[in-house]
Structure 1
Amino acid sequence: MKFFIDTANLAQIKEANDLGILDGVTTNPSLMAKEGIKGADNITNHYKTICDIVDGDISAEVLSTTFEEIIEEGKKLAAIHPNIVVKVPMIKDGVKAIKWFTDNKIKTNCTLIFSAGQAILAAKAGATYVSPFLGRIDDSGWDGVQLIEQIAQIFAVQGFKTEILAASIRNANHIIRCAEAGADVCTCPLDSILALLKHPLTDIGLAKFLEDAKKM
């Protein structure tokens, strides 16, 4: 399973990349705004900087909701760097745009997936990734990981090449369960990634080793 970091914070992206396990980055307008990135030129330059740090797919989200506008915005984003993946919402015009991008060799990430039917449509249109939001599904009282399992089974049966990018990750356990469920990619905050490092028995064992080493 590939690891993406879900942020626009350059320090966190660099820290995750330096860890040696980072495969890509996902961003959205909310994450950009959180970092104080405003204006088309500043956003473009920020994406360029991220691409300079990480050698992997970088999802850049369109703000448009009509077919023509999504295409125009997506072309501009894709022109920033070869690693840019155009992030498109799961709406009717979004699906049409994904097909256009696919036919024109532009990678896409279909975001805001909440059902297997939506994932099927995105895959049929040729999306590079589909992003089920399991944390938000959990918030609604359902199990988001079950959706990952369902999509993985359907894609395997149908032979879809689209990768499942598990999004809206809330904790380290989400990451582990997504790996078990068949997600191809997991995108999450840095804290969730670093939480995988932690176990009390590791701390106890290391303390014991260091104590014994002093006696040598």
Structure 2
Amino acid sequence: MKIFIDSAKLTEIEEAYRCGVCDGVTTNPSLIKAAASEGGSDLEEYIKKILTTARGTPVSLEVTEYTFEGMVAQGRKLYKKFNPVAENVYIKIPVNPSFEGEGGREFEGISAIRVLAGDGIPINCTLIFTPEQALMAAKAGARIVSPFAGRIDDLIRKRAEVKFEKADYFPTEGLEGFDDDGVVSGIDLVAQIVEIFDSHGIEAEVLAASLRGSRQVRDAALAGADIATIPMYVMRDMLVHPKTREGMRGFLEDTIPEYAALGE
């Protein structure tokens, strides 16, 4: 399974690539703006630095427009401006950009995907919460589909009136008696999409998004996700276990000076 870092902080992205485990970057406009402002950088130059750091791996840049025409125009402009930097830009498009109570625009997201994909622009389809949304996005031409696992978990816990913190682990099997139209957890959503794609030979990659902890990353891998996008704190947690630290203390206590000197 590929690991993407979900961050716009250049220092975090650089660290993730230095340690050799990062296969891509996902961002959003507000995170990029905040990170660039914090570093005192021009927004355009800051994005170019991210792209250069991640050279050879995908970086998803999200549109801020929400109409068919706006998403297509902005997607083309972003790709034209930034892809020449390192040839690794993916444009992130929402599967359905319509708002609550607004009908008639349900197809504008996948229509924009179809047009941009037809231009040869790789698409990461975002805000996916059902297997059928993922199917529609893939058929429209998205190369990556991004189900939001953590947000589905939040939805089910709220329906069950369970008090929780954002980082609390939610089991793959969910809570008895509660689901979201047949989806019992965020990881179950990922697993259902993977099964559908495998059954029908669909080549789009399934990116598990909104993962809140290291065990959920493990669950995503077991569910067959092609990619997990995670923040830096989760990436660090994936390397932590108390017995590892206990073992390190034992190694230090057992160090033989003569052996250590061999490496000097």
State the TM-score bracket (shorter-chain normalisation).
Answer: over 0.9
Structure 1 unmatched ranges of 5 or more: none
Structure 2: distance between partners of 1:129 and 1:155: 12
Q: What number of residue pairs does the alignment pair up?
A: 214
1:21 corresponds to: 21
Amino acid at match of 2:120: K
Amino acid at match of 1:20: G
TM-score (norm 1): 0.94
Structure 1: distance between partners of 2:188 and 2:255: 46
Structure 2: distance between partners of 1:138 and 1:45: 37
1:90 corresponds to: 95
Amino acid at match of 2:63: V
Change (3 A) 1:37 1:107: farther
- Which digits, 9 at most, give the CA deviation of each residue in 1:188-210, with x for residues without a partner? 10010111111111111121111
Structure 2 matches for 1:5-44, cutoff 5 A?
A: 5-35=5-35, 37=37, 42-44=42-44
Amino acid at match of 1:188: I
Structure 1: distance between partners of 2:67 and 2:47: 23
More helix by share: 1
Structure 2 unmatched ranges of 5 or more: 97-106, 157-183, 259-264
In the TM superposition, what is the alpha-carbon distance from 1:33 to its structure 2 partner?
A: 3.8
In the TM superposition, what is the alpha-carbon distance from 1:214 to its structure 2 partner?
A: 4.2
2:140 corresponds to: 125
TM-score (norm 2): 0.78
Percent sequence identity is: 42
Secondary structure of the residue aligned to 2:255 is: helix
Structure 1: distance between partners of 2:58 and 2:130: 24
- Which digits, 9 at most, give the CA deviation of each residue in 1:159-195, with x for residues without a partner? 1110001111111111100000011011010010111
CA RMSD of aligned residues (A): 1.6
- Which digits, 9 at most, give the CA deviation of each residue in 1:75-119, with x for residues without a partner? 111121221100001112110011111111100000000000100
Amino acid at match of 2:69: E
Secondary structure of the residue aligned to 2:202 is: coil
State the structure with more CA Rg.
2
1:76 corresponds to: 77
Q: In 1, are the aligned partners of 2:36 and 2:46 still within 8 Å (CA)?
A: no
